[in-house]
Structure formats: C-alpha cells, structure tokens
Structure 1
C-alpha cells in the first residue's frame, strides 16, 4: 500500500513546467506599461498607484475590493475587511490558503475528522466558514487545500455576509482573487530550496500579444517534508493558463483554466491525554499528550516528530479542475456589465490515521488506537452570475450601485474505503476488538505506543480484525455514498449613497431561493431503494450602514448585516449541525439558522493615504442552531454569541517601511445548546447541555499578528512577523448523576490547545534588476505549538522551524 513519493521526469508536472520554461525564454526582456482595466484592484505605495504585476508588487495596502458588489472604496465600506495582497503572500512565504490566513487575527483553522473531510476549514469570528469560500466571487466549497501560486490577493470579510456572497457566511467570507492577463509584459520565476528537503518552483508569465489579446500562464511544482513531523510530506503541482480578448478595450472576454493535483501523507496529529471517563480529576483541561503520567505510573514524553499514521496505508490525493469565462463591457455612460460562468470539479480520496484517545488507552496504558478515517468523493458546481455596476445622481444624492443575478448548481457524492465492497466491511483496524489496545492488536499494529510510534510498522489489510486473510483496500459501493445536490437562484442590489460630503449610507439586499436534495448512503448489503430528503428555502438577507466622514481620508460608521444558513448548505463538504441527511427528522421541521451582526468602527488612511488603520467593536449572534432534545429528537433553539473589538493596519508608514497585521479580542459564549437527559434508577431529568455557557470551539479570546518589512538600502530589505494565539478550545463534555432530585455534574472536561507565540523572519536582496534573493525563516524559534483543536481524539501539531532560500528571476 506504499504510495510513491516522487514524480518522474515524464509526469505532467515536469512536462508543464518544461513548457513554461520554453515560453519564458521566448518572452522579450522588456516591459511595457499601458492603462489597466478599470475594475482591477490596485495598491498604493508612497503615493504612487501600483498595478498587480509580477514586476512591482511592493504594496501592502489595497484600495478597493475585487467584487463589484462593494460599491465604495474600503475606507468608505462599513464592514471589517482585511485584504491580503500578493506582496504579503510573498514576504510571508504563504503557499497555501491556510498559510495566508495565519496573517489575519481572528481566524483559526479547524481540524478534519470522520464527518468533516480534510481540507481548508477556516473559522472566522468563531463560525465555521468552510461553506463561505469563494474564487473570484464564485462559491468554491469543495473540500481541498488551496494553493496561492495563481492568487493575486485574498479578501476576508468579517461578520454576517450572506447578502454579499449567498447562503452561509455567519462569521464572514473569504474570496480568493486569481491572477488574470494584464497590459504589462513580464515573466518571473521563483525557485526555492530549504530545510526538510523543501523544493518549490513557480512561474508567472504575462504576455500581451497586441493591444487586443493578452495571455498569462502560472505554474507551480512543490515538494517538501514537514519540519518536526516525521515522515509527513506534501507534494503538488498546478497550472493556470488564461487569455483575454479585448485587453485594452471597453469589451473583453477572459477565459481561464485552473488545475491542481496533490499527493501527500496526511498528518495525524497528537492525541489528547485523557477521556472524560478516565480523567483523574473532576474538572480537567485536557490538552495534547506531550508530557504526562499514565494511570499505572508511566512517565510519557512524546517527541515532536511522533507520527501515529502508517506510511504503508495512509495517503491523500486531490485533483481540482476549474474552467471560467468572464465577459465584461463598459458602456459610454460608465456603467459596466460583467458575466461570469464557471464549472469546477474537485475530487479527493484519503486513508488517514487519527490517534484516537476515546478508548482510554492513552491515559490508562500509554498506548493509542490507530483509527482509520477514510473518504473518497467529488464536488462539482456550475455558476453563472451577471453584475451591473455604475454611478448616477438623483437630485443631490450620488449613487454607486451594483445589481446582480446569480444561478449556482452544486453536486457532491462521497463514500469510504473498505476491505470488502460487497459486505461493506471496514478496514481492519481493531475497531471490533475490546479493549481496543491489547497484546493482539499491538502485534497487528492496530495500536501503538504513545511515546514511540513507528510509522513504518508492517501493517497489513485483512478481511476482518481477527482474520489472517489479506485483502486490498477498495472503495465502497456507489449505493453506500451520500449524495447531495443543490440549486440557488438569487438577486441582489447594493447602493452607496452620498447624501453630503460628510454623510454616506450603504444599503444592500439579497434574495435566494435554495433547493437542496440529499440521500444518505445505504449499507452495502441493503436491497432497499434510496430515500431522498428535499428542502426549499426562500432567504432574505440585508446589510445597512451609515458613515460619517469627518475628513476625506477617514470615516466613522455603524452597520448591521444578516446571514442565513439553510439546511444542507455544506453540500456534504463539511460537518454541519444543520445537515439534511439526519435520520428521524421531518423535512418540514428543518429551520434556517440566522445570524445578525452589529459593528461600530472607524477607518483612516494615514501618511498621505499610504497606511490604512481601522478600529471596530462588534457582536455576532446566531439563533435557530440545531440542538438535540432529551428524547433524541432535534429542535432549533440553539443560540450563540461572540462580541469583541478589533484593530487592523496595513500599508506603508514610510516609503521604506510597510506593516500588516492587527489585534482581535473576542470572548464568545454558547447561550443555549439545548438539554441533556440524565437517567438514574429509572428516574430521568433534564439539564442544559455541556456546551452551554462555554466559549465556542476554535475561537481564541485574544489573537494578534504583525508582519513588517524595512528597506535598509535600495537593494536590501529585512523583515519579520509575530503571531500570538490564546488558548483555543476543541469542545466540552461532562458526566452527570441525580442527587436529591437534581442533576449534578460529577466531572467536566474541556479539550484545548495552549496559547503560543510564533516568530518569522525574512530578508531580500536585489542583486540586479532581474535577479533577486529572498530568505524566509518560518517558526524561527522552533516553537512546538498546536494550530488546530478537534473536539475529541487529537490536536494538530504545527510544523517546526523551516528555512528556505528563493532565487527570483524577472524579465
């Protein structure tokens, strides 16, 4: 079952990069600058407008969102928004979406598990935003780990955002802006080598053929081990060609294709030390098992490179294909119409070991069960959206508006890997053996020691946990797959009204008609027909904001916004508490979760409009969250709330000194998680569920990031960054009894990962106009920290110190 580590010289990635090299050698060593299309984002540096090209990308400050639905510059938009420009991606060596989002305070990454596929799972202000990811304004929620090689910028909107981006978006949304052909001619190659056999090559070629046609080609090859994580590796390649017809005219058509393929050994993380039942104290904070004492007195030290997976079993493969067409026309009156059509198809498959603490072995005996999480499946979508934007006056009121019509169709299917497709027998891992870890299961490598796991154990797949007949791991039958499809018709209208020079009003509204169909998988031996659940919802969401402008470079605002999360909005691509495949519930009982945000803030462009500074206070509250009733039925009474304050900054303090970062304080609280039943001697009583009154999972109370660069000389730039994250909880549980007619909690348990500081450093030296060198040191102090907390079982350990050097060649 060993998966190949390397790609041959005849593999698609090497062939693609070879073709790129031939093209780049043919690009003339010159650059021409012409006027850029009016709707493309720009940055400002030292009072000079800088376009998004591979030649001059030194700006940290962004003036305008890419989406036409934002009808005012950022300083006059009454929302908390952070834009990560391409220069920040480069300076921080951010090669994935997860890397990039670490630069933004208030965002954490959630962990995968059996019900939640591996992939990007950002939490914004405490809310799972896996279903709130977009590519160029088009919903893109397929489970995958996104790359940055073809990314121009990443836009993060915080607070309820359904009105902008559709269903979901309770805590905010993330829009990835891709690179497109421009009127500038350039070619750039970055070649990186670093510690832990880090290898990466990216190529970005932009070639205007003439004033009418322009092409751009981005390509990437990446291969690395992961510092401090044993045999874990990540290998991927991608290519993204695009062509624009009408490059400099009022009418244009851009066609692009994006392909990404990944092959990796997924990281299983570190188990928690105790379960609720075997914890030695009545109230326990249960963290990752690094150093602890077992019940039988063993002193356990877990080295940072402890890996509990199996090299001969575990793998993860993903393939992403996206085709996009974008038509744009600017009328003589300044109105712009834009139509975007995209088809995307994501496929993912994996067998992934999770060190499962639920059996009690970690604390009892210093052993851990190698639970196998498996999945295969696809996600596809077809989207068409038309935007009309422009400006006009009515009397003395100036309007900047955007109107949109959208259609979005999504389809997904997923199953699991098994040892026998006909019977659906699970992969042999000892799951039917009790106790889970004993002499026999250790001998079969179903379990291993916590302190000294061997990822190269000679594990074999058998037809059952006790059989001696070997069998191949295969995909489950199609009828066992969970199927989901959804369609969404929507219309929206936004307007920024300038009533006077000092008073602006921002309004927006959206209507969505969402229809979702889902069918839970059958057992492999079932002869029954599939059953389907259908839900239809009409969603009305809004945003409203008032801005006072005491000066042209600043604003004070108050805003409110509403989001709506219909049942099944994750389309089988994430673990949601509002899934429509839940058994024993009438589809008519499904309710839409609703979230309302309030925000009061101020924004200023300082230092000749080169530095953006924003401060805000906020509240986001969700109602109708699904809860489990004491009898096992479901109801929609859950309520949760997060409040806080945020400071963010990005741009240039001087022409030589740029900064990017912020601080967030956001205490969160589950106000109502429903009721739990306790039964003792035939007497049953109810009491609030364990989560009630506690913070949200994956929601730090404090988070801080700062990144800065300083140009010491015209050729030498030095910089660095710091990240602080306070304690993050994975989940809460308790055990209960009844005493004197009252429910009494006898034990409580909170899983968590501890707070941490992380520091990075970087330096760039421009040898010539064409050749530059950059050095990045990530996690400079080699801090051992954990960046993801799951509710049970395990926490994800971050990479150790990684140092890499990059040679950049620009034509």
Structure 2
C-alpha cells in the first residue's frame, strides 16, 4: 500500500470527524479538511475509500482496493491514527482491542511469542501485512509509525496469498508529505509508565520530502509483579518526486524490545486418561486459579492478581525488527505502475516461565498416595496440591525475507461500463531458523513436584511464589553441577525456507451506477523446504546421521466474487463469496501452526505426500449507509465461514484431515458524528463458532497378559464445541465530545464474552485377555475458560494553545481483574490493572 501524502492544511474543525475513521464504512470519514471532505464525499467516483489528495490529484493508497469501501462487497474496518492516539494505545494489540470481534490467543509452547489476533474465529497471526507486504515474523508490533490499520474480514487469500482464513490486517505506515510539520508527545504515569514519541516531516524541495518517527518506551505493568516492557524504535523515510508522475520512496523501520515475559496464571484442574482431578463430574469449568482457592488436601489460600511465577534472573525476551523498503511508481494517465521491494530481518530470543498445570500439581493428584517417594529424585511427592511447575519455554532464532511486488492499477472504460482494476505479481524468498537454549527445569522428572524439585525451585508455591528465587541451572535435572545457559548446537536447530510466485487481478465493474460487480483471482506457487534438527541441545548427532532437506510445493488458486446494488449513492447492499487456502508450513514456524511439516527425520519420512491444503470459504451479505449528510456511517454484515481439510493430530505420529469448522455471525458497526462536536465509533459482533468435526483422538488399551497394548480411535472431545480463542458476543464503543472548543472528554467500553482455551476429558480404553477392547466413557469433560468482562477507559484533553495539548488517559478505569487470552491448556494471560498517564503533546 502507498502511504498517505497530503498537501492540504489541517483544520481543527474536522479533528473530531477524523477520529471516526476507525470504521470506514462510508465515504471520507477520515478527512481532515473541508476541501478534502467535499472531494471524497463523491464515493462513486473515487477509486478507493482510502484515497487521498496530493497537490489536487487523487492517489490510490491501496493498489488492490479497486472500489471505495461503500462499494466493496466485504466487511472492512479502518482504524485511524487519531483513534490510536486518543485511546492511548501503545501497541498493535492495544489498538485492535477497540474493534469488536477480534480476540487474542496466548503464546504457545515453543512457538514464538508475538501478536496473535483471531478474526472471525481464525488465527490471523500469519495474515498481518505492512503497506500491503506480508510481515510473517512473529513479533509484538508498535504503532508509533502507524498511519492507520485496515482489517478485511472474511476469507481473503485472493488479496494476501496463503492463509487469511478469517481475514487480513494491513498496517499502513506514516510517510513523507509536502509540508513542514513536527510533533513530540511525552507521557508519564503510574507503574513507571514513560513514553516519548516524535514525528518530524521536512519539505526538502518542491517534490522531495523527508520524514522520521521515533519512540522510547519504558513501563512496568500495572497489577503485575516484576513484569516490565522496554523498547525503542526509529522509522526514517524519504520520497522523491512527490506531486510528479514518477515517485521513489525509500523507508526503514527498526524496533528493539526488551521485556520480562508475563506468564499469567495456571488453570485449576486437569483431565486426561491418566489423571483427572476435577472435583465434580459432568461438564466442569477450569478457570485460572485466582482469589481464594482450596486444594485437594484442604489447604486454602489466596492467589493475587499480581502473582508472578517466573524467574527474574532467568526469564527474558529480546527482539529486533528491521525492515527496509523501496517503492517506485509511475503514472500513465489513469493507470499507475508500482514496484515495491522489501528486505526484512527479525530476531527473537527468550526464556519464559509457563505456569504448568498438566500434572495436576495446582489442585492435587488423587491417583498418587500421599508420602510416595519419587524413584528418580528420592523426594516425597507433593500430591495434595498448592504447587506450580515452572516450565521454562525457550527459543532463539530469526526470520528473514525478500519480497517484491509489482502492481498496475487504475481506471478505464469499455463503452458505458466502468472498470477499476489492479493486476500484479509477487515474488518472495523467506527463511526461518530456530533453536532452543539448553536449560534444566525438571521436565525429565515425573510427576513434577516433590520435595527435591521444590528445593531446586522447579516447583513453587501456588499461593506465594518468589520471582527472586536463587534458581541455578545445572547439567541435568538431578545434577548439582552448575552450568551456564547456552544455545543448542547447530544440529539442534530447525530451518524453514520458502519461495512464492504469485499473480493476481481485481476488477470493480460498474455496469450501471446502481449495479457493481467485484471480481478477484489469485494463483500462488508456494514451495516450502524443511531442514529438520538432527540432534538435541548440546548432544552431537549420532554417527551416520546427516541433515536432510525436504521439499513440498503447493499450487493455490483462490477467488472472490461480489455483487453490489446501490439504491442511492449513499447506500449499498451486497453479497459476496471468497476462498482461502492454508498450505502445510504456511507460517514457516513463525507461529502456532496446525498444518506444519514434520520437524524430525523420523516423522518426516513419507509424510510430505500425505499432507493437504486446508480450504476455507466465506459467504457474506450486508448493507452500508451514510446518514446525516454522510457524517454517520452504519453497516451490517451476516456471514458464514467454513473450513475443510483441517488437520487434526490423532496421536504423536498420526495426522488426519478430518477437521471441519463452521463460524456464523453478525457484525454491526456505527461511526461518525452524531451532533456537531460529538463523535462515536464502535460495533457489536455475534459469532457462532463451532468445531463441527474435530477428527479422532487415540486411546491406548494397556497390555493384558500376553495381549499387547492396542490403540483405538474415538471422536475428538473438540467436536461440537465452541472454537477456542473466540467469543460469542463482543461489543466496543468509543466516543469523544468537544466542550468549549478546547476541552474534550471521551472514553471507551470494551466487552467480551467468555472464551475457551481448550477441552479435555477422561475417557480410557481397556482390553480383556482375549483382546476385546472397551472404551470407557468420560465422566468429566473439562472446559478451560476465561470469564467474560467489561472494561472501561476514559480520556480528557485540553488545548493549552494552538500547538500544545495536555491529555490524561485512564485505561481499565475500574481496575477490573480479567484475562485477555486463554492458552489451550496450562495457563491464561491476565490483563494489566488500572493504568493512568498524562501526555503533553507539542506540535510545530
């Protein structure tokens, strides 16, 4: 996407109207000038809703956006920088919380920590783009250099390529403009909150401009012991040829982060064929352990919201993001040819404590008698509950890519039929390499918690953990020889390479002013190459074992079709159909991937040809309208998304493509000016997300006499359940009111329904001496759940002078205790407490 370049002066009269661009469902709500608003209001003549005016000429900001949003048969949300600033959002995840229907998944096991938004029930971690270019590396993204964020909801592989089952997120960056301006914002608040951002734009010559944004951020996390976040970044860019037919833009983005990762709180209960400690039978909710809690042996204590189970001397997360982009474009009358080339290099190293509940240590283990001595350590098993295993998750690695996109876009007529088109190609090379730090956390000891492991700080008190415990890394879990934490040998690292060649085309066809047909096609050739690890940690490869390289190529064809009917210029009704395809290894290890390639030489053999592409289809109908002279935008969408060929793990060595998911829903949005000086944006989303077929699960019937153990398959516990990491009902509303011209007050309300992380049961299999297998039905079905919540934010600002503004933000105003994401098992992430900070903004 081309970044915005505006050469018209700003007007404070339209500042509030600019805020409501958060839901761009009607013409020109993000305009900042009366002249620009008047031009953009004629939505039918604009090639794109996000078009802007440059020296009197309209420029398409998104090459693939062939129609204004009101004429696009999709649900599209645009979050403007003004909303990001007013809500005090300091990360992409913070900003996305203002949009209903988007939830977040927790960091998963050995997968990288980073932004993991769910759109319409589907993990969109790998469907995030920066200026229209895929940004695959898992990371926690900032917003200091962000102009706006566009969310396209529904299956969207036609637009972005592989993945995109639930939709795409496109971050549009700030870029040079032909005028001089600058802004510095400094914030200070509780929990050590400190943040400084700067934005300087210089008109170097008549057609040359330079812009640079900077960031410094340092904070503890309110309500959480010991957790901190520190980062800094810079984003310079220069454009040559602004206002001319030929333009060259070069930009660079750098972000460096250091933090103590927050592991959240463990769930209360576990349930499996070997241990199920739920206190009752039937359907049992296992929520995170917080507040007053009584264990199996009758011990009662309190888990505070601030409780942190990590280690301050061991846990860390360091990451860097580097992006260099060159964009060249030239206008040929009504057509523009654009080429975008980007090099990215991202690194991430971490060790973080996952408070593990998998052995039943939190509530207790009823299957082991008290006083039992562990044969490995000699310690007495702590089976009565009240303990947490400090599972140390670790990863180091990098992601690197070179991506080149060429687009030809513009408008032309064939007789009386008008076309707004975009055709293009994409070529990319991607590489991901990852390994693990060598550390000892008691993972080889089972059960995990006994008097010995407690003394070594592998297991800690559920009620009173000490993040400053003198934990020492040793050569093995039972050794007393201290050793440094180091990276594993090169042979223990896994590498993924991929190359993609794509061709795509879009056309918005205005048959008559009241009838518009939208068509999009895309073909991708995606080749994934895997080099699995051949050793573990510091253990050298066995004699005669050599690294191998596996390759798989998938050819993907996706399309979208839409029909728009316009009863009036300000209204539209539409229907659309779109597809998405997720090939194996789509994320290259940069996220939680259900459809990954095998990562060991033993499981890889012969497996590549058995893998399938997951298919997704979206059906949607909706309506959009602008009222009050196009000052208030309203929209409604009804949709269904189906996924087939979902990969399910039957056991450690067997996968099948039996999975099916269906998500139905309704989305309502409203944004704009209700009365002069009073703006509002928000919406409501209802989802009915169901795993219609979770595939099978494996149960092992133990050996009896001479009869060997047998494996049988049963229906997955997930079948018929709500899709994890989704909510049925969500609502957001943000409002801003201008009082006495200089004084503004506003606030937000964010509501999310209950969210499930995963499910489990205690079915078992037994057999007779004759080999007759019996499946014993479950007495407990465990639902790992985080409760629903309502969060309130507030803001007030005062323009001291024309160029100086003072504002105060109060996030989570009522200090609500709630959980922001749910892991499939083990733990849930707890949200920050009340965070209040003041900001002084100076413009020049």
Q: CA deviation at 1:62?
A: 6.5
| Residues 444-453 or 186-195, more deviating | 444-453
Partner in structure 2 of residue 547 of structure 1:
564
In 2: Cα distance, 1:218 partner to 1:649 partner: 32
Q: Between Structure 1 and Structure 2, how many residues are aligned? A: 758
2: CA distance between counterparts of 1:234 and 1:368? 25
- Give the CA deviation at 1:374: 0.4
Give ranges in structure 1 of 5+ residues lacking alignment.
Answer: 1-30, 35-40, 52-60, 419-426
1:136 correspondence with 2:169: no
Which residue of structure 2 aligns with residue 485 of structure 1? Answer: 497
Q: Do the aligned residues in 1 keep the contact of 2:29 with 2:672 (CA within 8 Å)?
A: no
Q: 1:354 to 1:684 in 2, by over 3 A?
A: closer
Q: In structure 2, what is the Cα distance between the partners aligned to 1:743 and 1:447?
A: 33
| Residue segments in structure 2 that go unaligned for 5+ positions in a row | 1-6, 11-27, 39-47, 52-59, 365-384, 767-772
**What do the CA deviations read for 1:73-121 (whole angstroms, capped 9, x no partner)?**
1111110111100001001111101001101111111111223211111
Q: Does residue 368 of structure 1 match 2:355?
A: no
CA distance in 2, matches of 1:597, 1:807: 45
Note if contact 2:50-2:61 (Cα within 8 Å) is conserved in structure 1: no
Q: Residues 64-463 of structure 1: matches in 2 within 5 Å? A: 66-276=61-271, 277-282=276-281, 283-290=283-290, 291-331=292-332, 333-364=333-364, 365-418=385-438, 427-463=439-475
Secondary structure of 1:44's aligned partner? coil
Is the 8 Å Cα contact of residues 519 and 581 (structure 1) preserved in structure 2? no
Counterparts of 2:34 and 2:300, CA distance in 1: 61
Partners of 1:42 and 1:388 in 2: CA distance = 27
User: Post-superposition shift, 1:459?
Assistant: 1.2
Separation (CA, whole Å) in 2 of partners of 1:90 and 1:378: 31
Cα distance per residue 1:163-222 (max 9 Å; x no partner): 001100000010000100011320100000011110000000011112121000100000
CA contact (8 A) 1:44 1:610 kept: no
**Cα distance between partner residues in 2 of 1:412 and 1:50:** 45
2:744 paired residue number: 717
Secondary structure of the residue aligned to 1:454 is coil
Deviations 1:595-617 (A, max 9, x none): 00000000112222222211010
- Partners of 1:665 and 1:702 within 8 A in 2: yes
Q: Distance in 1 between matches of 2:784 and 2:343?
A: 40
1:650 shift after superposition = 2.3
Query: For residues 235 and 550 of structure 2, what CA distance do their matches in structure 1 show?
Result: 38
Instruction: Give me the whole-angstrom Cα distance separating, in 2, the residues matched to 1:431 and 1:115.
Output: 14
Tell me if 1:526 matches 2:541. yes
Alignment counterpart, residue 508 of structure 1, candidates 505, 520, 526: 520
Contact 2:491–2:540 under 8 Å retained in 1: no
Match of 1:600 in 2: 621
Corresponding residue SS for 2:525 = strand
Q: Secondary structure at the match of 1:100?
A: helix
For 1:311 and 1:232, the matched residues in 2 are separated by 9
Equivalent position to 1:687, from 685, 692, 714: 714
In the aligned structure 2, how far is the partner of 1:595 from the partner of 1:561?
A: 8
Q: Quote the residue 2:608 is aligned against.
A: 587
Q: d(CA) in 1 for partners of 2:264 and 2:646?
A: 30
CA contact (8 A) 1:43 1:49 kept: no
Structure 1 runs (4+) deviating above 6 angstroms are none
Q: CA deviation at 1:586?
A: 2.2
Task: Tell me if structure 1 keeps the 8 A contact 2:639–2:665.
Answer: yes
In the alignment, the residues of structure 2 paired with residue 79 and residue 641 of structure 1 have an alpha-carbon distance, to the nearest angstrom, of 19
* Equivalence for 2:57: none
1:627 corresponds to which residue? Answer: 648
The 5-angstrom pairing of residues 735-754 of structure 1 reads 735-737=762-764, 744-754=777-787
Q: Tell whether 2:514 aligns with 1:499.
A: no
Alpha-carbon offset, residue 433 of structure 1: 2.4
Question: Is the partner of 2:641 in helix, strand or coil?
Answer: strand
Shift of 1:520: 2.0
Find the aligned partners of 1:281 and 1:360 in 2 and give their Cα distance.
Answer: 15
Q: Aligned runs of 1:590-739 on 2, under 5 Å?
A: 590-629=611-650, 632-680=653-701, 685-737=712-764
Q: CA deviation at 1:334?
A: 1.4
**Distance in 2, Cα, partners of 1:717 & 1:778:** 17
Using the alignment, how far apart are the partners of 1:138 and 1:73 within structure 2?
21
1:404-460 CA-partner distances (Å, limit 9, x unpaired): 111111100000000xxxxxxxx1212222331222222221111111111111111
Distance 1:683 1:325, change over 3 A: closer
The alignment status of 1:786 with 2:819, answered yes or no, reads yes
**Maintained 8 Å contact 1:66/1:177:** no
CA–CA distance in structure 1, aligned partners of residues 341 and 501 of structure 2: 14
Contact 1:45 1:651 in 2 (8 A): no
The residue that corresponds to 2:23 in the other structure is none
Q: CA deviation at 1:66?
A: 3.6
Cα distance between partner residues in 1 of 2:658 and 2:424: 34
Scaled by the length of structure 2, the TM-score of the pair is 0.87
TM-superposed CA distance for 1:633, in Å, is: 2.2
TM-score by length of 1: 0.91
Native 8 Å contact 2:696 2:713 kept in 1: yes
1:569 aligns with 2:586: yes
C-alpha contact (below 8 Å) 2:489/2:540 kept by paired residues: no
C-alpha distance in structure 2 between counterparts of 1:384 and 1:628, whole Å: 36
> Using the alignment, how far apart are the partners of 2:349 and 2:440 within structure 1?
18
Deviations 1:102-153 (A, max 9, x none): 0111111111122321111111111111110100000001011000000000
Q: Distance in 2 between matches of 1:446 and 1:754?
A: 29
Q: Distance in 2 between matches of 1:685 and 1:306?
A: 42
Deviations 1:38-91 (A, max 9, x none): xxx98236865379xxxxxxxxx9655842111011111110111100001001
The equivalent of 2:770 in structure 1 is none
CA distance in 2, matches of 1:473, 1:309: 16
- Cα deviation per residue 1:508-554 (whole Å; 9 max; x = unaligned)? 00010110001221213214111222110111000110001011011
Q: 1:532 to 1:46 in 2, by over 3 A?
A: same
- The answer to whether the 8 A contact 2:651-2:697 is kept is yes
| TM-superposed deviation, 1:588 | 1.3
| Pair 1:473-2:494 in alignment | no
C-alpha distance 384-746 of structure 1, shift in aligned 2 (>3 A)? same
Per the TM alignment, residue 301 of structure 1 is displaced from its structure 2 partner at its CA by: 1.3
Q: Per the alignment, in what secondary structure is the counterpart of residue 362 of structure 2? A: helix
Q: Distance in 2 between matches of 1:300 and 1:170?
A: 44
Q: CA deviation at 1:727?
A: 0.6
How far is 1:745 from its partner?
A: 2.1
Deviates more, 1:434-443 or 1:262-271: 434-443
Partner of 1:43: 30
Deviation at 1:462, TM superposition (A): 1.3
Separation of aligned partners in 2, 1:654 and 1:483:
57
Task: Answer yes or no: is 1:755 the counterpart of 2:767.
Answer: no
**How many Å separate the matches in 1 of 2:267 and 2:119?**
25
**3-state SS in 2 of match to 1:99:** helix
CA distance in 1, matches of 2:675, 2:418: 34
